[in-house]
Amino acid sequence: MKYALVGYGKMGQQVAGILEDSGEHEVHRVLDVDASITEKSFTGSDVIIDFTVRDAFLSNLPAMLASKVPVVVGTTGWDADMPEVRKMVEKAGTSILYSANFSLGVNIFLRTVREAARMIAPFDDFDIAFSEQHHTAKVDFPSGTALKAAEMILEANARKKTIISQLSTWKKIGPEELQVAAIRLGSVFGQHSAFINSEFDDIVISHTARNRRGFAGGAVKAGEWLAEKHVSRPGFYTMDDFLDEVLG
C-alpha cells in the first residue's frame, strides 16, 4: 500500500523506516507539519498516517477527510475535540483510527491494567494509582496513554470516580480519586506504571518503551487494518477496535 505521512518528526521518520523495511508498502508522500495541505495532497495514497501536533492535525483534518483516504492518527492532545471530530468523520463518510499509543506492547499493558483494576474492585483494602514518564519535549501532560489508562481504570473499578493529575497542598486525596502522576525527564521514550497497594501487598504493572519503532510498527499495522475496514464499514475507530478484531 501507499502511505502518505503527515508530519516528519521523530515518529514520522520511524514510520518511514518501517515502511521502507517492510518490502510490501511504500512511502507515497511526506508532508511536514508546516506544509500546505489540500484534499489533492493525498491523491493516489491508500492510507494517511498523522503524527503532528494538535493544532496542525485539527487544521489539516478537513482536507484529509475530504480526500476519502483512511487516516491513522497518532497525534494527541485533542481529546476535548473528539465528539466534534467523530461528527466530521461520520458526515464525510470516511475513516479514522485514533490511538494515543500504537505500541502493541502498550496496548497489551493497558488491557492488563484494566483487568487488574476490575479484580481489585470488590476489595476495599486495595487502592490504585498511575504514573508516566516522558521526554521533556513532550507537550501534553499527562500523556494521552496515561489518560487512556485512567479512563479504563474508572470503567473497571466503580470505587474510583474522578481523575486528578495535580494534588492540592491543602487537601488530601480522596478514596474515590484516581491520581495520575506525570514526570518529564531528559529523553525518556515512555514509561507507564500502575501501582496497586494494600496493607499487605504491593503490585506494580509497568511498561517501558525501548525505542520508537514499536509505536511506528503498530501504526503501520493499524493502517493495514483500517484500509480494509474502510472499504466495507467506514467510521471512527480506535486501537481497541483493531485489537478486539485481531484477538477475536
Domains and CATH numbers, the chain: 2-102+212-247 (3.40.50.720), 104-208 (3.30.360.10)
User: H-type helices in the chain, by residue range?
Assistant: 10-22, 54-66, 82-92, 104-120, 144-156, 213-232, 239-247
Cell 500546505 belongs to 36
pLDDT for position 169: 72
Residue 138 annotated as catalytic:
yes
Model pTM?
0.80
pLDDT digits 0-9 by tens, 159-172: 999 999 887 777 88
> What is the Cβ-side half-sphere exposure of residue 79, based on CA atoms within 13 angstroms?
13
pLDDT for position 76: 87
The segments of the chain whose pLDDT lies below 50 read: none
pLDDT digits 0-9 by tens, 172-193: 899 999 999 999 999 998 899 9
Whole-Å CA distances, 45 to 9, 39, 48, 64, 150: 20, 11, 7, 11, 36
**Considering 28, 134, 207, 230, which one is annotated as catalytic?**
134
pLDDT for position 78: 92
- Give the C-alpha separation, 145 to 179, whole Å: 14
pLDDT for position 14: 94
**Considering 25, 138, 160, 229, which one is annotated as catalytic?**
138
